[in-house]
Structure 1
Amino acid sequence: MAEGLALAASIVAILQITNSVISICHDYGAAAKDAPWAKVNAEMKSLRNVLQTLQPLAEEAEFGSPSAGTRLPTLALLCGPQGLLNCCLEEVGRLDERLKNPSWSDSFGPKKKALIQALRWPLNKAETMKTVDDVSRYRNILNLAITADQTTLTLEIHKLSISTNDIVLCTQRDVCLIKDVTSDTHADVQSTKSITLGIQLGMEREKIHRWLSAGAPDPSTNQNRASRSRQGNTGSWFLESETFTYWKASSALVWLYGKAGCGKTVLSSTIINAVLQEPQSKSEIAVAYYYFDFNDVEKQKSDKMIRSLIAQLFKQSKKKLNQLEALLSSCNNGGRQPDVKGLLSVLKEVVEGFDETYIVLDALDECSDSEELLECIEEIQEYVYRAHWFRWVVCQLDALRTCLNLSMLRKALEDLPTTLDETYARMLRSIPEEHSEYAIKLLQWLTYSARPLRLEELAEIVAVNIDGSPWFDCDDRFARPQDVLAICSSLVDTEGFGYGYNSTVYNPNKVVRLAHFSVKEYLVSERIRDPAAATARYAIQGIQANQSIAAACLAYLLQFDQHDSLTPNTPKHFPLARYAARYWLQHTRKVGKGLGPIEMLSQEFCLVHREAYINWYRLDDPECSWQEYDCDREIAGIATPLYYGSLAGVTELVQLVLKNEADVNAQGGYCGNALQAASQEGHESVVQLLLKNGADVNAQGGWFGNALQAASRGGHDSVVQLLLKNEADVNAQGRHYGNALQAASYGGHESVVQLLLKNEADVNAQGGEYGSALQAACHGGHESVVQLLLDNGADVHAKGGRYGSAMQAALGFDMSLSITKDQREAVVQLLRSAMASQPPPALPMVGD
């Protein structure tokens, strides 16, 4: 009965406030017709009608009975602490408070209230429309819930009716008609329940994340501070080192040490940024980090570190974590904190949900319980070691499976390799000589592909010829795509088939992976080059692998060099086409200096075979990769090779195109020109190259209007500095954000905002979607940027823009932004303080 009472009580509460809002709107209506509040009034009346329909149903429902929840199950789900009814109650309550004028007196008549309020309607046009939309959304969901519950009851009645033989015999035709009707609505009911369940699951995950975060300090403040301290290419020496490459490709633990003040924390932030900026097309990769801090007691405990790591990884995981849910339950449903042992168990579970997990810890010497910290690290190392041991066992079982009799089994057991390295070396040596080149190609792709490859995609690789004779030969394909798996034996695995390649079921859409992360670790290690192992030919280096993959992608695309090369069935008949189109630039960029065979192929592709270049765009528009394949895609939006090379940050390709007299200021593409594209993505070396070759630093066009605004929106300090040194206009107006300062403020890029203000950016410049930099920063919930702008004279009372004012922007709700309640409240408090010190101009008095 408790739930029913809660539902009925919630409805009554919403009805009371709804009537209050309608009454206030009626007073406004006494002064003017067709005003904005008329729309609010109409929508609130519609909501009241739905609530009045729902109230008697809720009062009659008895959720506490044995059939609890069956009469109005969907509505019951909406009545939780974070359910839709409570959200509706809060929204209507806020609206009621906004519309009430605190200066009203009960003795005032409606005419006087209306005259006073008519000049001070608190909601601008945008807020009015948002309010109407929000109330309409709540009303529609409630209507949908009522419909779903009523349909469910109809289905139950139908089930009872068909169980009675006499009724069935007498009304067979009517029952058939009911079946048709109910079957049509059954899908809608299930869809509604699925949506509701999804909302509930999302709320449960949010509850778990709040519980974890409540006791976990936020390391991003240290990360942002350290990143701001970084100058230019600081730390690039480490990112280019073999140690960093090996750490990323293996399960190794790397310890960086040095004297106090030598820049270890800045280097940590550089490493974290580098890993975060790695292509995230592989959803199974996760990144977590933590900064111990002697200035912050909360950040000096090892259990806080583990809790923070779990919270970060949980946020990135989409899987159900049973141990974490069990830990929450054992801790009084979040009422108390867990111990370190429980946290470590959960950390292992979360890590197991990803193919690769990168963890960076800074300032271990600033941890106050160092012994406990070392125990935690040893526990993690032990977990990694056990994972290697388990993999060794699996490999031996895979090998023993081929033994056909007891004698063969005994002999195999006597000759088992003693280490995982030796196991992998045997597998590589067992590859027939005639298959070795195929194996090298396949292992390169599986180690460095931008995303997991499907079986049919991988099978195409063996038929690519980078020398162009021809670019791709269908006769070189294997008779069966799954034959490529046999070449690499137990080194590879197909998702869903268990270990190895021994599957009798063929499914071209199954993903092929290296069988274990230790396979990649071995392939990229120095150990594989041991002469005694005789496996050096299979050693894989990142640059060479990406060079080989990029060249193969270009060669594959060059086969589509005729106007009619593409058909609606091209992705089916040439499975690697979409991958090659989407990722060739990414692989080329990773090669860095010295393109090798890619240089010749790039010239053929970008400068000679125009139709192949156009068909690449049709296969996959680089700026609209979410769009479906369209062999007839209009090419009006296609940009130049210089533009796409700049967007991808491929310096060598940009240089190659410029040598062939490309127009450096050619217009086209989402960003307008090559300089804007490179600036938006923060490719400093490309920006420098373009400016050196005559790019107009103040050229207008594209979404961002100019290069400085593009770089500011992306938060790229070094590029902003470079553009300003080359005389970029700091106050140039135009396009979406109006100016560079507003673009940087919207993104919360404090260091860029400081740089622009230092170079005389107008803090109160008007224009763009948000009207001013202050409103843009408030909308994003960026407290430090708001404070910086206010300290530099931003007008807290300025009007205009999407939300009308900075305060309304701070209070506005945008589902696309991940802003916490605390962040919003902090910004609102800053604005209130500023308003107190900057009183607005006095409004003219209105007589009686």
Structure 2
Amino acid sequence: MSDPFSIASGVAGIVSFGLEIVKGLYVYCSTLKDQSSDIARIHNNLSHLHHLLENLRRQLDVRKFRSDDIIILACIEGRIFQCKECIEELKKVADKFERSQVDGLRAVLKAKVQQATYPFQHGMLQKLEQNVDSIFQQVVFSLQLLQNEDTSSIRNHVEDTKYLLELHRASNVSQDTVKWLNAPDATINFNIAYEKSQTGTGAWLINGQSFNTWLQQGSSFLWLYGFAGYGKSILCSTAIQHVFQHQKSSQDIGVAIFYFAFDDTSKQDVSALLRALILQLSGEQSNNKQQSNDFRSSLLSRLYDSYRNSTPRNQVLLDCLRRLCRSFKHTYIMIDALDESPRDKHRQDVLDVLTTMRRWGEPAIHLLVTSRDEVDIRDTLDPSRDESIAVRNVASNKDIALYITQSLRDKPQLRKWKGFHGLIETTLTTQADGVAKRHLTIDELIYGMAVDLDSIDSDTDSKDADSDHVGSDDLFLDGHRPLAVFRDNRMLHDADAVLEVCPGFIEHYGFREANEEETLCVRIAHFSVQEYLKSNRIKKRENVAQYHIQAKDINTQAARICFAILDKFDESAALQAQGFPFHMVDYSFVSRMKSMFPWARYAASFWPDHFRESKEIPPEAVRAMLRFRPYALRISAFHRPGARFGYNPLQFATHLGLSSVVSVLLDESNTEINEIAGGTTALIVAVNASNMQLARCFLDRDADVNGYDGGALKAAAKTGQVEMAKLLLDHGAEINAREGSALYAAAVMGHLEMAKLLLERGAEVNASTAGDRGAILELAIYRENLEMAKLLLEGGADANLVVDDRGRTALWAALKPVTAGELEYVRLLLEYGAEVNHCNDLGETVLHEAAINHEDTVRLLLEHGADIHIADIYDKTALHRAAEFGNEKVAVLLLKEGADPNTVDKFGNTAVSAAKSDCKDLVTFLSNF
């Protein structure tokens, strides 16, 4: 029989091979998962299989096998060898995909899964899924064998922990004492949590640095926190199992557990906690430590004798617990669901006891607690970074995904939904994190909650309406009720105060934008919270029905909050800027104001989105803000980087596509439709925003189609909007504008269809305007756009047009492209009549330039009549140039065509003397010619 190490090595090799194949298939399926629910399901299954294979390989790598492990290893070897055939089948599929990836995948993506190139046939899908499922089952079985082996001695202990505790009590604690103490039974909750765990659940926790530090270090503390339903109790049961296993390694370890429970009043207060821990530790038996065993038993007996007819005070119980903990070398106390101790009744007392226990500083005590992340718990426990673990992380999400997958496979009532398994898995796993459509910082939320959305009394209305803040009455929804009012006295103190308002429903998280520090943001803690608030179920409960939300209501309220915040920001900015004309208020000023009012960022960034989705905020209110709140307008503009528009209400509303607001602004007599602000007009902004509706609206209202040097048509040409260009041309747009042509803009961006349209409409192809940099043909060649160059030449482009201030034509530009090869461009220009012997201002022909390092081009030019004897203003020929740059091949070619090697330039150099000294072969060749 083989030794354990050899078997393990062989199994590990197959597992590693499987990992490589599964990873490749997973990556490939990632590109196609949105095209079919079947592929999405296989994609998810591959992800889970990869996770299991990694887990198995890790255990095979780190585990030290003993000789008595040979049987279990043989079983695992048999299972994994059964996988080998399936893995080989997967490899065949992967190889097929790899061969077809260049052509097939490109076609799939381009043609939207055309049947002819689609790599997944129905039979292949079925076979692929069967193989993945078969491997999955074998790997799960292998992991279970390893776990069963690891925990076989624990499992008997764990599956009937209550029995063992009863045994302890029966041998060391009298039944009268047990009855008197009336300690709640924690093993009930433990067994419930344990039954929900899957193979490998929580491995990331017990293998992590924090947990192992807690396990080994004296006087240690660890807090596991996360949203309800994230498996904290299951993780706690995993930790308990591991501690029981650890207990076997020492003769003097005590273990005690407790589960708080919402639905069990006997498991909610300090007394219940202390009584349960005391009973469990009193019943512990240490081998070869009879004196310690007797001490613990007698300690509880004395307590019983002292309080036989009453219940001990909590302090008495706490003192007893401390003495029990000291009787062990290590005492592990694990407490689950601390947040289920009622906050308004017992929780603070529980927290005080835990604080006291930590202050003891007893080296023997190791305390682990799980709970939701609630403010009072976090503040009281006050854990360091190393003493807290967020349950929400990549590893825990894999645990959840594995649990969901296994449940869908194993539970009969879910099998009928097999066709939807992929959708179910995707929904539950991808939405496991909190809901945050937009990143809302804590500061923004605090100030947002300070906005009063309720009705305002008439005194407040009249005071606001008559204030010195220009145009404030225009922000009113009607003559009496403001959109919203910002009230300083409604502001909360800090982030913790926010969590206290909505305990368990929202949570903090860190968000970092590029090159910026991490910002503390807030989001709904779980998508189920959002779904509940939006559902009809909440309306059926009178006490919470008022919190039912609808999308349009949310956006209406959010828009009103944003406007109130921007109104406050504008008022404060106006005070800060007193004495300065608005046009002198620069970017740095608004940036400084933003740092003073960080909450304005969200309002400035997202009010347009909320307004669009609301349908209930009148456009007149937005018009008023844009017209009378200049600082609000400016900060809103700052949060749209890259957009081109001026600080102009009409342009801003146009850029955002707010048609109703644009309509209201256009109806005002003081709106100048052709106003130039920020180097643009409203029509140009509409074109840049690809908003045909608003562009047509402006043209119908007599907007100057050629305003700002014909910028509208150039903008359409630059962005390739053919229909937009047609609209502008039909309204009289000048196609050959003085400050840069639309054809040039189309050529710059390579928009072939746009260039065709402009040429058909009479664009001057040889024009070189003040706004253009060089000739259009030269540009197309420099951009290596052969099709554009052909189109321009067909449209009349002059191949001999001088394109720069050095007297060069497009032929010189043709030597530059390297991607497609300059020969194609040179040949094209020669076909359209390019003069091969044209001389630039230095007397050079293109042959001089090509002689440097373009052998094939030199040959082509010679075939088309290039004169090898033309000399530049320094009397240098093409042969001189080839010699100077050491190009022997070109020199040979020119000499064969009759070039004179003895021609002397103005500096007295022949081709031989001009040749580089390190080009000995070239010098020798020229000398002997």
TM-score by length of structure 2 reads 0.39
TM-score by length of structure 1 reads 0.42
Structure (1 or 2) with the larger CA radius of gyration: 2
